[in-house]
Amino acid sequence: MKDSLNIVVVGHVDHGKSTVLGRLLYDTDALPLGTIEKVKKIAHDTGKPFEYAYLLDAFEEEQKQGITIDITQIQFSTAKRDYTIIDAPGHKEFLKNMISGAANAKAALLVVDAKEGVQEQSKRHGYMLSLLGIRKIYVLINKMDLVDYDEKIYQKVAEDMKNFLLPLGVKPLDYIPVSGLNGDNIANKSPNIGWYKGNSLIEALDLLEGDENLSQKSLRFPIQDVYKFDERRIIAGRIEAGKIAVGDEIVIYPGGRKTKVAKIPYWQDRDKKDIVSAGESTGIQVSDEFFNNRGEIIVKSGDKPPLVTNRIKVSLFWMGKNPMRFGQKYKLKLATAESAAELLSIEKIIDSANLLKRDDKTEICQNDVAEAVIGLKEEIACDIFDECQATGRFVIADGYDVAGGGIVLGLPKEDNAMEKNMRYIMEHLPKNGELTIVMEDGKIQRLERVEKEIFSGLFGEGI
Amino acid sequence: MEHLDMLEAESIYILREAYKKLGKLGMLWSIGKDSTVLLWLAKKAFYGHSPFPFIHVDTKRKIPAMIEYRDKIAKELGLDLIVHTNEEAVKAGISPENGRLACCKALKTDGLKQVVQKYGFDGLIVGVRRDEEGSRSKERVFSERKEDDAWDYANQPPELWDQFKTDFPKGHHIRVHPILAWNEIDIWEYIKRENIPIIDLYFAKNGKRYRSLGCECCTGQIDSDADTLEKIIEELKHTKSGERAGRKQDQEDSYAMQKLRKEGYM
Ligand SMILES: Nc1nc2c(ncn2[C@@H]2O[C@H](COP(=O)(O)OP(=O)(O)O)[C@@H](O)[C@H]2O)c(=O)[nH]1
Ligand SMILES: [Mg+2]
């Protein structure tokens, strides 16, 4: 079986994203019979020239106005693998749709018009890719036909893009000169661009490496639900990193209780397993039954524990029409955890189109990117994004809709370490069970419950 | 991870989110291959249990073998099955002669609306896939429908990192699409791998088979000799024609599906 890869196509409006993709689908024979005829008919009926973009822009409104409004996900394959390509809109107004597309991708194509050069959304999208942790990026310098396939222009545009991305730590894998309209360097190397010695788009895609192996990392198994349909009590969820096996000693955060994996239940015989790894939706039965909540994260005993906190330092982007404000109630969702949340402080606000910091830090507006501290009503377990992506990223709901998203940078700095330690101890003290203090480098790292359960109901709680 | 394992894991995750986060939940079961795979995935997600009812919107124009098969499987699997028909439309004699889109709207869209209202569903699980047609390629996994079941497709909320839309005003409902990312071949390979019972209308007899199932009046057969799962998969790997080419309602208008789905069609 071939592997599969999700790729998002981003860039400024009208720079040719949908066209490049339409051409790619056409050249790889991915279109069902009659599709081209249908699009030709639409072009004819509306009195417009044929556009490859119509193959992606399926909505009537998109075709009539000639713009992409929402993402399209479409599949094609090469001899090497299957691809799902996500065409994103380039309009600033639809940035939230672009982000929805990019968040589900492992690699990206950033399309820049050779004639217009790097524009506002080229930069903004580049910035968003870096924030979302997408590191595999090809820049496509498109519409080379409009600049007579001039190498100098290609170099200039590539240089501009490179200079913008460098401070963000983003290093594209390559800069490919193409023409979506004519199909130059899309499926095949083009004789029109003889000076370019690199790969065509398809060759470049096939060179991308697949996913890193998440099952080699520390176990992260967020609890999605607990089922009691029959005599079995099943803790269900998806393994986000690492593996889990029958017999493993596990710790459940934020509480810190320990138990053992007793069984991995299944419905069909072919799903009988003693070990399950990252990516699998599974369930476990444990040997000590105590109350479990959705949102808790199961970790292997001895592995690096997650952060446990009710204050996180984050990098976030805001998509809501209403700005993010102090004193306002929000809901933060991270993996399966949820908590009421509020904005505690804004460290900086960056205009993602020019990387300039804004002086006014009173609120975070639509399309802003900010570094901030968020306070949570409940303590949650999470990770720094660079250490574990799935448990290090979150969304923020404002009312009914998701309005923001972001990544965990770490714990906020507290001027007074003693204060922090005391707060930590106070927060963990009540509840039943015996606690030990884990120290490293002379600092309190965390408290851990000892394995023996002490029932203290009648005689008061805690130690 | 194998491709089918990845798809399966994602679908199960979505089903479990729907079950946990949406109040009253139901799953549409059209007897076809996609919703039968969905039914199987639901059994897997909940360890052989099915904690919500299955719904069939019966237009009374379905291929008779589908109805026989429906009742047989529902009995065998002990499904909690709701069968609903828009009786008024049937009595009024609505048929494709009124225009195929009008017929689909009355018998399917309105039928579906009636079920949602009657049972007060907050979530409906539907087995649509992105590769079926244009407007579905733009769907979200959790897709909100307003009071009148309308889909506000030009203004869909962000959906990232499997954080789905689970907050919405009363009276709205969510269409949950667990197999949106699957394609037609994935479905057949999964049916084969898991040995899922499937209606035999899909297998060729006398040089013809159904590739997509619907109402008898609007569903055509294709020329085919594929009478086994292996042959169907082989055939699909080499075909260039669209899966829904035999579905006549799609051909009524360049934007037929978008128009139907905007009003609440699945
Ligand atoms: N000459 C030329 N025109 C192009 C090329 N690629 C796209 N276009 C045109 O640029 C316009 C915008 O393209 P589109 O794909 O909709 O841009 P998007 O907004 O980035 O998706 C359309 O009219 C295309 O025909 C190209 O390589 N050469
Ligand atoms: Mg476009």
- Considering the domain architecture, whether residues A112 and A179 belong to the same structural domain is answered as yes
What pLDDT score does A139 carry? 97
| A308 pLDDT more than 90 | yes
pLDDT tens, A209-232? 877 788 999 999 999 999 999 999
Domain that holds residue A403: 307-410
Position A433 confidence tier, pLDDT thresholds 50, 70, 90? low
The answer to whether residue A66 sits within a structural domain is yes
The answer to whether residue A321 sits within a structural domain is yes
Q: Quick one: which of A101, A109, A129, A76 has its CA closest to A9? A: A109
In angstroms, the CA A283 to CA A265 distance is 7
Kindly state if the Cβ of A16 falls inside 6 Å of ligand 1: yes
pLDDT tens, A370-383? 999 999 999 999 99
What's the whole-model pTM score? Answer: 0.85
- Using CA positions, which residue lies closest to atom 12 of ligand 1? A14
- Minimal Cβ distance to B242: which of A34, A84, A393: A34
Position B246 confidence tier, pLDDT thresholds 50, 70, 90? low
The answer to whether residue A459 sits within a structural domain is no
Residue A13 Cα: closest atom of ligand 1 = 19
What pLDDT score does A453 carry? 45
Residue pairs between chains A and B whose CB atoms are closer than 8 Å: 152
The answer to whether residue A33 sits within a structural domain is yes
What mean pLDDT do residues B126-154 have? Answer: 84
CATH of the domain at A282: 2.40.30.10
- Considering the domain architecture, whether residues A8 and A153 belong to the same structural domain is answered as yes
Q: For B194, which residue in chain A has the nearest alpha carbon?
A: A270
Position A273 confidence tier, pLDDT thresholds 50, 70, 90? very high
| B242 pLDDT more than 80 | no
What pLDDT score does B241 carry? 74
Ligand 1, from A12, A14, A46, A146: best to mutate by most atoms within 8 Å of Cβ? A14
| B134 pLDDT more than 80 | no
Number of folded domains that form chain A? 4
- Considering the domain architecture, whether residues A193 and A250 belong to the same structural domain is answered as no
- Considering the domain architecture, whether residues A239 and A197 belong to the same structural domain is answered as no
What pLDDT score does B251 carry? 67
Kindly state if the Cβ of A69 falls inside 6 Å of ligand 1: no
Kindly state if the Cβ of A113 falls inside 6 Å of ligand 1: no
Q: For A404, which residue in chain B has the nearest alpha carbon?
A: B158
Instruction: Output B178 or B61, whichever has higher pLDDT.
Output: B178
The answer to whether residue A461 sits within a structural domain is no
- Considering the domain architecture, whether residues A281 and A333 belong to the same structural domain is answered as no
- Mean of the per-residue pLDDT values for chain B? 88
**How is residue B87 annotated by DSSP?**
H
| A434 pLDDT more than 70 | no
- Mean of the per-residue pLDDT values for chain A? 86
Residue B240 sits at the chain A interface (C-beta within 8 Å): yes
From chain B, pick out residues whose CB is under 8 angstroms from the CB of A267. 43-44, 47-48
**How is residue B109 annotated by DSSP?**
I
- Residue contact B16–A74, C-beta within 8 A: no
| B204 pLDDT more than 80 | yes
| Helices A120-131 & A151-165 angle (0-180, nearest 10) | 50
Kindly state if the Cβ of A68 falls inside 6 Å of ligand 1: yes
Kindly state if the Cβ of A142 falls inside 6 Å of ligand 1: yes
The region of weakest confidence among A236-250, A273-287, B107-121, B177-191 is B107-121
Q: Which of A283, A300, A317 is the last residue in one of the domains?
A: A300
From chain A, pick out residues whose CB is under 8 angstroms from the CB of B140. 100
What mean pLDDT do residues A278-285 have? Answer: 96
Instruction: Output A463 or B195, whichever has higher pLDDT.
Output: B195
Percent of chain B with pLDDT over 90: 45
Nearest 10 degrees: Cα torsion B85, B90, B91, B96: 170
- Structure tokens that stand for B190 in this block: 């999964």
A88 Cα: distance to centroid of ligand 1 (angstroms): 14
Instruction: Output A81 or A90, whichever has higher pLDDT.
Output: A81
- Considering the domain architecture, whether residues A396 and A442 belong to the same structural domain is answered as no
| B211 pLDDT more than 80 | yes
Position A35 confidence tier, pLDDT thresholds 50, 70, 90? confident
- Considering the domain architecture, whether residues A239 and A330 belong to the same structural domain is answered as no
Q: For A403, which residue in chain B has the nearest alpha carbon?
A: B158
| B118 pLDDT more than 50 | yes
Q: Residue type for A386, please? A: D
The answer to whether residue A79 sits within a structural domain is yes
In angstroms, the CA A234 to CA A247 distance is 16
- Considering the domain architecture, whether residues A73 and A118 belong to the same structural domain is answered as yes
Residue A87 Cα: closest atom of ligand 1 = 21
The region of weakest confidence among A423-427, B215-219, B253-257 is A423-427
- Considering the domain architecture, whether residues A62 and A155 belong to the same structural domain is answered as yes
At B106, give phi and psi (nearest 5°).
Answer: -70, -50
What pLDDT score does A456 carry? 41
**How is residue A208 annotated by DSSP?**
S
| A23 pLDDT more than 70 | yes
What pLDDT score does A206 carry? 92
8 A C-beta contact, residue A324 and residue A404: yes
What mean pLDDT do residues A124-149 have? Answer: 93
At A375, give phi and psi (nearest 5°).
Answer: -100, 140
- Considering the domain architecture, whether residues A63 and A202 belong to the same structural domain is answered as yes
Q: Which of A282, A300, A318 is the last residue in one of the domains?
A: A300
CATH class label, B3-183: alpha beta
Residue spans of the domains in chain B: they are 3-183
Q: Which of A249, A281, A300 is the last residue in one of the domains?
A: A300
